[in-house]
Amino acid sequence: MNKIGSDTVFAGSVPELYDTHMVPLIFEPYAQDLARRVVALKPARVLETAAGTGVVTRALARALPAGTELIATDLNQAMLDRAAAIGTQQPVHWQQADAMQLPFDAASFDVVVCQFGVMFFPDRAHGFREARRVLRPGGTFLFNAWDRIEENEFADVVTNALATVFPADPPRFMARTPHGYSDRAQIAADLAAAGFTAAPNIETIAARSRADSPSVPAIAYCQGTPLRGEIQARAGATLAEATAICASAIAARFGNGAVDTKIQAHVISIAA
């Protein structure tokens, strides 16, 4: 059923649910981390790829000095529309663009930053090559990628719960794509294949994911990501039923009240 092609589709009600549920649940801590790292580089011109609904963009717009040029791009126009509607503290140029074929001149940015987007690249070395192409000599490519699904407890519980609902064809979006690019050696090899000659700096950073109730992460994962399409494409349970089963599984693991679990990701920086 739904495989790689649909993993990059964020449409319909997904952008809003993604922004209201997934962003505060798992993306905010790492967005603040990336923004701090970008600011420390003192760039004049920054390109963000796979900006989604703008969590990193907003953090950058708050933290970068006035006058820094910030261009935020994403493959999905619906995600950018949501980001632009929320707004930022200083001007941002929003532009639909494919990270596989960036519509920008060579050597035109000081920093290229990408939050949890490289896992969706159909050809990571090619995507990295595009980032290197648009970076000025000495510029920095800065990105992050989720660690193994077992190190990210909500995602793991949801994936395992759905396997009990659809045992003949378990939805594997979370394991396949968001958590499918966790091998540090592979990341380094792909950067080298893209033409980066420096050694990457790779840090593995744990954080906490918190929600007021088990239903919040269940809705976030089941309805605010492309996992939604995988659930809806299968017989045996409705989207609402599958979401409720995931909420019950989260409650069984972490309790019925406020929930607090581990998330973990790699943060990678490399000089052009």
Q: How many CA atoms lie within 13 A of 148 on its CB side?
A: 4
28 in a structural domain: yes
> What tens digit of pLDDT does each residue of 186-236 get?
999 999 999 999 999 999 999 999 999 999 999 999 999 989 999 999 999
Whether 59 shows a pLDDT value over 90: the answer reads yes
pLDDT for residue 184? 97
* pLDDT tier for residue 20 given thresholds of 50, 70 and 90: confident
96, 75 contact by CB (below 8 A): yes
Range of the domain at 52: 4-149+173-207+265-271
pTM over 0.75: yes
Which residue from 153, 11, 170, 132 is spatially nearest to 79, judged by alpha carbons? 11
CATH of the domain at 69: 3.40.50.150
* SS3 of residue 143 by DSSP: strand
Task: State how many domains the chain has.
Answer: 1
For residue 38, tell me if it sits in a domain: yes
| pLDDT tens digits for range 111-149 | 999 999 999 999 999 999 999 999 999 999 999 999 999
pLDDT score of 81 more than 60: yes
Mean pLDDT, rounded, for 64-83: 94
User: Is 130 domain-assigned?
Assistant: yes
Predicted pLDDT of residue 15: 75
The mean pLDDT value for 238-255 works out to 98
Tokens of 129: 């090559």
Predicted pLDDT of residue 119: 96
Q: Is residue 183 part of a domain?
A: yes
Would you say residue 213 lies in a domain?
no
